[in-house]
Chains A and B, each alone.
Chain A
C-alpha cells in the first residue's frame, strides 16, 4: 500500500493510525493491568522473602554444620576449637547446674547491671558534654586536645588502672563501660549540634527564644537523631567494657566465667558465654530500635530503613 505513495504521505498515514490505536488498547487493559501488576509484585515479594530466609538458615547450617563436621571427623581438634554440640551441652549445663559460684543468672545479672549502669552514665555524660561543647566553640577548642588524648589511651590499660585503684567490685566495671560509651555518644552529640540547620536557629532567635529555648526547641531534638544512632553501638561497647573489666579482675559476672573457662582450656564454655552475651546484646539492640522508632517517628521512612542494618 505504501509503495506507490510519496514517502511523506505514507508516514503521515501511518502516524495517524499509530496514535489512534494505543489509547483504546490501554483503556481496555488498564483496570486489569493494575490488579495483575499488584498481584505479580506481591508474589515477587513473597518469593524474595522465602529465598531470603532459606539462604539465611542455609548459611547458619553451613557454618555450624561445617564446624561440627570438621571437629567430629578430627580434621580440626575440638580440644582447641570447641564443637557446636559440646557448646550446646555446656550451655545447658550452665543454666541447669550453674557455675562454681552459683546460678548463672546471678552472673548474667551482675554483668548486665554493670553494663546498663555504665551505659546510662556514659550516655548521660556524653550527651551533656556533646551539647555543651557543640554549642560553645571556645570551650570545645580548650578541651578538644585533652579529649583526644584521653580517647587515644588504650581502654584495656585504663581497665588495669581501674583494678588497681578501685578493686574487684562493681564500680570499676561501670566506669570502664561508661568510658567506652562516653566517647561514642559524645562525638555523635557534638557532631549533631554542629549539624543543626542555621535557619531553624535564626527562626527561633528572631521569635525571641532564649539560649535555653534554642537548645530545647532546636539543638537537642536535632542532635537526638545522631545521639540515638550512636546508642546502637554504645550498648555493645558497654557490654564489652563490663566484660573486659571482669576478666581483668572480679568476683562475679560473665567475664569471670569466661576467663576461668579460658584458664581451664575449655573453649566450649567460652563459646557458651559468648553466645549468652550476644543474645543479650541483640535483645538490647532490639529495644533501642523500638525506642528509636518512637522518638524519631517524625523522620521520613528512608532514613530508618538505612538504620535497620
Chain B
C-alpha cells in the first residue's frame, strides 16, 4: 500500500499537484477527542483508517452524530487529529490542505455576493486576474444551467438553484479533492435526485476524488464507487463495500430500481441497521 502512494507523490511535481490531478486520501489510525462544553472528554473518532484512491467517489454513511463531519474537518486540515495521520497525495496534512473544496448541507454561499461573485470567490482567492475569473465563473454557471442568473442574490434563488451555485463554486478551482458534507440533505426528494444526477455528470467530467458524507444510503449507493459504514460514537469504520454498478450511471432515479442496486443496498443496510438502532437507543435513553 505504501509503495504506490510514494510513487504517486514523486511523479506529481508540486506545480502539477496544484492544478487538478486527483489526489489520494489516506487516513491512518485517526482519533479525535475533545472536551464537551460541559467539560467531559468525548471521543468523536476512534482509530479510523481508510484510503480513497485518486479519482474515486467514496461515500461515508453512518448514524447521526458518529463523527462523519469531524472526519472531513481533519482531511481539509481545518482541524487537527488527536492521534493518527491524514495524508493527501502522499503528504501529511499540516495546515490547510491545498486543492480542496467543501460543500455543506447548509448554504455556504455568501448572501451579500451575487451569484457570479459567489462562483468567482475561488479563483479570486487563488490570485486569478479578475477578467479571467469572471469568464471562468460565467462558463461554470452555464455548465450548471444558471446562465442569466449572474446578477441575482442567493436569497432570490430556489434551494436547488442555490445548490447548483454551490456546486459551481466548489468545482471552479478544479479541486483535487471534493469534500461533501450531506450537501443535498436539506432538499426535497425530487430536487435531490436532480442534483445527484447533475453532480455525477460534473464529477465524471472532472474526476476529483470525492468524500461524500450522507445518511441516505440510497444516495450513497447510487453515487459512489465505495461506501464506508461508520459505527455510532465513537466513530470508526465498520465495513467497506465496493459498488460495482457500471459508469456512467445516468439517471439516479432509475438506477434505484436496478436489481444489482437493490442487492448492494440491502447488504449495506444489514450492516448499517445495527449502528442506527444503537445510536437511536442511546439518544432515546438520554432523552
B100 at the interface (CB under 8 A from A): yes
A221 at the interface (CB under 8 A from B): yes
Partner of B78, one of A200, A202, A218, A300: A202
A298 in contact with B155 (CB, 8 Å): yes
Cβ of A206 to closest chain B Cβ, rounded Å:
5
Give the most central of B106, B112, B153: most A CB within 10 Å: B112
B145 at the interface (CB under 8 A from A): no
A-side contacts of B100, CB under 8 Å = 206
Identify whether the interface residues of A are mostly helix, strand, loop, or mixed.
helix
Check A299/B173 contact, CB under 8 A, given A207-B125, A208-B125.
no
Taken together as a complex, chains A and B put the C-alpha atoms of A296 and B111 apart, in Å, by: 10
A-side contacts of B125, CB under 8 Å = 204, 207-209, 213, 217
A-side contacts of B106, CB under 8 Å = 197, 199
Cβ of B176 to closest chain A Cβ, rounded Å:
12
Taken together as a complex, chains A and B put the C-alpha atoms of A239 and B175 apart, in Å, by: 53
Instruction: Return the CB mask of B64-95 against A: 1 if under 8 Å, else 0.
Output: 00000000000011100000000000000000
A205 at the interface (CB under 8 A from B): yes
Check A299/B78 contact, CB under 8 A, given A203-B102, A207-B101, A207-B126.
no
A300 in contact with B108 (CB, 8 Å): no
Tell me the count of chain B residues lying within 8 A, CB to CB, of chain A: 27
Chain A residue with Cβ nearest B99: A208
A205 in contact with B108 (CB, 8 Å): no
Taken together as a complex, chains A and B put the C-alpha atoms of A262 and B224 apart, in Å, by: 81
Taken together as a complex, chains A and B put the C-alpha atoms of A297 and B173 apart, in Å, by: 28
B121 at the interface (CB under 8 A from A): yes
B113 at the interface (CB under 8 A from A): yes
Check A207/B153 contact, CB under 8 A, given A217-B110, A218-B110, A299-B111.
no
A298 in contact with B112 (CB, 8 Å): yes
Chain A residue with Cβ nearest B126: A208
Chain B residue with Cβ nearest A209: B125
A299 in contact with B102 (CB, 8 Å): no
Instruction: Return the CB mask of A295-308 against B: 1 if under 8 Å, else 0.
Output: 01111100000000
Taken together as a complex, chains A and B put the C-alpha atoms of A197 and B110 apart, in Å, by: 10
A-side contacts of B154, CB under 8 Å = 298
A206 in contact with B108 (CB, 8 Å): no
Taken together as a complex, chains A and B put the C-alpha atoms of A148 and B154 apart, in Å, by: 38
B-side contacts of A197, CB under 8 Å = 106, 108
**A-B CB contact pairs (8 Å), 19 listed:** A200-B108, A202-B76, A202-B102, A202-B108, A204-B121, A204-B125, A206-B77, A206-B96, A206-B97, A207-B121, A207-B122, A207-B125, A208-B96, A217-B110, A217-B125, A218-B110, A221-B110, A221-B112, A298-B153
Q: 8 smallest A-B Cβ distances: which pairs? A: A300-B155, A199-B108, A298-B112, A298-B153, A221-B112, A203-B108, A207-B125, A199-B104
